[in-house]
């Protein structure tokens, strides 16, 4: 099966290997690239104490570049969305890591159950504010530090032509609402997609699926859990 991956290049490379291991042919079309702000992360860590929350592994990659500045904070409890992100945090040296298996709302419920006295959310932009809204509903005090930005990257027509030269993929993987919107703004593939009814549009969550145009909703499948393992299980 030919599978198009729309996530950033760093993550897409690992996804591509997982797809090959499953017997599929990955096609990579990164539509966003991260711009890290290590100073914002380091400053927020230094100015706070207590628990940390992350909703993306990209925040862990920001922390990985801090080196010795991170060492005093590795004993702080860390809450993460998804076991993959949690494992990256553990690999970095965090000693107390717990993860939710759903989305940001589920993570907020997990935080509420643990009742940390303070919480620092290391966030990216743009982002869905599901986690923050739920924290407010639960009356949990928290602070936010935006430590990375997902910048749009527009592929040129030659790159798009190369991907679609041998026909359309059998499936497309969508990981975020923003990249889904980016994909359907591309000038080349969108006009033909409604005719390609066999293409499966696999979305990480309902929020991601909302960004798929109405004409293609019948081709959408939503991952049972908001993690890559569950998403790839749809293939």
Query: In the β-sheet with 51-54, what is the strand arrangement from edge to edge?
Result: 32-36, 143-152, 119-125, 51-54, 78-81, 97-100
Q: Is the pLDDT of residue 169 over 50?
A: yes
Domain boundaries, the chain: 2-31+153-233, 34-151
Q: pLDDT confidence of 2, banded at 50, 70, 90? A: very high
User: Which tokens go with 90?
Assistant: 């553990």
Same fold, 2-31+153-233 and 34-151: yes
Class of domain 34-151: alpha beta
pLDDT digits (tens, 9 = 90+) for 7-43: 999 889 999 999 999 999 999 999 999 999 999 999 9
Q: Is the pLDDT of residue 141 over 50?
A: yes
User: Which tokens go with 81?
Assistant: 């969305």
Q: pLDDT confidence of 156, banded at 50, 70, 90? A: confident
Residue 125: strand pairing partners: 149
Q: What is the pLDDT of residue 187?
A: 74
Residue 57: strand pairing partners: none
- Of the candidate CATH numbers 3.40.50.10090, 3.40.630.30, 3.50.50.60, 1.20.1250.20, the domain formed by 2-31+153-233 belongs to 3.40.50.10090
The reported pTM is 0.84
Task: Find the mean pLDDT for residues 155-174.
Answer: 86
Distance (Å) of CA 203 to CA 62, 83, 208 = 25, 18, 6
Task: Find the mean pLDDT for residues 162-170.
Answer: 83
Distance (Å) of CA 100 to CA 139, 146, 149, 170 = 19, 21, 23, 31
Q: What is the pLDDT of residue 19?
A: 97
Q: Is the pLDDT of residue 223 over 50?
A: yes
Burial class of 140 by CB neighbour count within 10 A (0 to 12, 13 to 18, 19+): middle
Q: Is the pLDDT of residue 191 over 50?
A: no
């Amino acid at each position: 099966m030919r599978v198009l991956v729309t996530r950033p290049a760093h993550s897409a490379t690992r996804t591509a290997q997982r797809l090959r291991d499953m017997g599929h042919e990955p096609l990579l079309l990164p539509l966003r690239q991260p711009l890290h702000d290590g100073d914002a992360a380091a400053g927020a860590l230094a100015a706070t104490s207590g628990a940390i929350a992350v909703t993306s592994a990209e925040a862990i990659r920001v922390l990985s570049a801090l080196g010795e500045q991170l060492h005093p904070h590795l004993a702080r409890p860390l809450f993460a969305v998804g076991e993959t992100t949690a494992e990256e945090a553990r690999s970095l040296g965090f000693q107390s890591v717990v993860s939710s298996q759903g989305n940001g709302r589920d993570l907020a419920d997990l935080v509420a159950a643990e009742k940390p006295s303070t919480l620092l959310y290391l966030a990216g932009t743009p982002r869905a504010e599901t986690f923050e809204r739920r924290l407010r509903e639960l009356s949990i005090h928290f602070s936010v530090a935006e430590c990375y930005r997902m910048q749009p990257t527009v592929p040129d027509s030659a790159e798009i032509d190369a991907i679609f030269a041998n026909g359309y993929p059998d499936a497309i993987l969508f990981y975020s609402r923003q990249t889904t919107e980016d994909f359907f703004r591309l000038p080349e593939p969108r006009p033909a997609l409604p005719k390609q009814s066999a293409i499966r549009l696999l979305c990480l969550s309902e929020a991601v699926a909302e960004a798929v145009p109405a004409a293609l909703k019948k081709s959408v499948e939503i991952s049972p859990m908001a993690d890559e393992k569950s998403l790839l299980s749809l293939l």
